Structure 1
Amino acid sequence: MRVFGVTGWKNAGKTGLVERLVSEITGRGFSVSTVKHAHHAVDVDQTGTDSFRHREAGASEVLLASGKRIAVMQELRGAPEPPLADLLARLLPVDLVLIEGFKRESHPKVEAFRAEAGNALMAPENSTIRAVASDTPLQVQVPVFDLDNTAAVADFILKEVGL
């Protein structure tokens, strides 16, 4: 499976860029899935629903299915977070998986960068970053794209992964 990441510090524009890239790349006829890393506890379930009650009762996994979507919730219950490779192995085959976060993993990435966030640029110290999508001109050793030029970023990613 082809994978490419979007990384950056908090408030750098990662989620917006991933959202626009999914729309742009699927609009070109490719299938795309995403993996998003969260640094906090997340719960997509609602208190009081049947599936929530199943998890609270101790179920290791709850698969919720309807005519519109399927959701699988797995409780780690103290087990370590699975490695990215294990998470990718759970996905159905697609043309491209866009990965948001996971900055320390070895897959190729584009860094989202907003000057107003006040964070240092990661690209000079991270060889997995192949390009930067920035709201300001930068002098770095990798290609720099305008953060809002989604088509150019998508062109770069698709070329990098061979699509």
Structure 2
Amino acid sequence: MRPPALAVVGWSGSGKTTLLTRLVPELRQRGLRVGVVKHSSDAHPLHLEGSDTARYAETGATFVAFANPAGVQLTFPEPPGQVLALLERFADTVDLVLVEGWKQGPLPKLEVWREGLGPLLAAERQDVLAVVSDSAVTGAAQRFAPDDVQGITSFLQQCLRDGMLRTTD
């Protein structure tokens, strides 16, 4: 079983990360356990070249973890399309997973849009629940200003209650 999840999508530089760093504390303050996944279409290295963890990953380990007093980083050698499998691993530990990116994934979406960066996805997609933008938008059921963190959080809580944050696969 997968936990409820929402992809926060938008063009590079639109403010996705900034929004997420403001939403997570607000959601937590309202009692929700929130996980975040950063999705990238680019193949960024997960380990420093030549590091012990890189060497372990090269051996074909099922997972590699790096633990220190600051926390734990856990990596799996799964292809990037396996975000849904990752969500399943944490179903019992979170109430909501926010995925930054993954425009083409089967999750409902919150689009962060800034004029001049690229076309508005919500105008042509049914899976965009709302748009976060300073500009007026058409084709979106709901629009929030980027600084309306409380309004966005309330909207996400309503989506959770209504069962709208499930995968479409």
For this structure pair, what is the TM-score category when the shorter chain's length is used for normalisation? Answer: 0.7 to 0.9
- Following TM superposition, by how much is the alpha carbon of 1:20 offset from its aligned partner in structure 2, in angstroms? 1.3
Q: Is 1:160 paired with 2:159? A: yes
Distance 1:51 1:112, change over 3 A: same
One-letter identity of the residue aligned with 1:135: D
- Following TM superposition, by how much is the alpha carbon of 1:100 offset from its aligned partner in structure 2, in angstroms? 1.4
One-letter identity of the residue aligned with 1:154: T
Q: Is 1:98 paired with 2:98? A: yes
TM-score (norm 2): 0.81
- Following TM superposition, by how much is the alpha carbon of 1:32 offset from its aligned partner in structure 2, in angstroms? 0.3
- Following TM superposition, by how much is the alpha carbon of 1:67 offset from its aligned partner in structure 2, in angstroms? 4.4
Q: In structure 2, what is the equivalent of residue 5 of structure 1?
A: 7
One-letter identity of the residue aligned with 1:19: T
- Following TM superposition, by how much is the alpha carbon of 1:58 offset from its aligned partner in structure 2, in angstroms? 4.8
One-letter identity of the residue aligned with 1:84: V
What is the count of residue pairs matched by the alignment?
159
Once residues 122 and 29 of structure 1 are traced to their aligned partners in structure 2, the CA distance between those partners, rounded to angstroms, is: 31
Q: Is 1:37 paired with 2:24? A: no
RMSD after superposition: 2.2
| Percent identical | 33
Verify the 8 A CA contact 1:4 1:161 in the aligned structure 2.
Answer: no
Once residues 42 and 107 of structure 2 are traced to their aligned partners in structure 1, the CA distance between those partners, rounded to angstroms, is: 23
Please give the residue correspondences for 1:12-161 in structure 2 after superposition, counting only pairs within 5 Å. 12-76=14-78, 80-91=79-90, 93-117=93-117, 119-161=118-160
Verify the 8 A CA contact 2:124 2:139 in the aligned structure 1.
Answer: no
Once residues 158 and 66 of structure 2 are traced to their aligned partners in structure 1, the CA distance between those partners, rounded to angstroms, is: 37
1:29-84: per-residue Cα shift (whole Å, max 9, x none)? Answer: 211001221111223422343222323455453222334422222235xxx43433
Verify the 8 A CA contact 2:112 2:131 in the aligned structure 1.
Answer: yes
Once residues 27 and 21 of structure 1 are traced to their aligned partners in structure 2, the CA distance between those partners, rounded to angstroms, is: 10
| SS of residue paired to 1:115 | coil
Unmatched runs of 5 consecutive residues or more in structure 2: 163-169
Once residues 58 and 94 of structure 1 are traced to their aligned partners in structure 2, the CA distance between those partners, rounded to angstroms, is: 28
Unmatched runs of 5 consecutive residues or more in structure 1: none
| SS of residue paired to 2:80 | coil
Distance 1:84 1:57, change over 3 A: closer
Structure 1, 153-162 or 39-48: larger mean CA deviation: 39-48
Verify the 8 A CA contact 1:132 1:145 in the aligned structure 2.
Answer: yes
Verify the 8 A CA contact 2:129 2:141 in the aligned structure 1.
Answer: yes
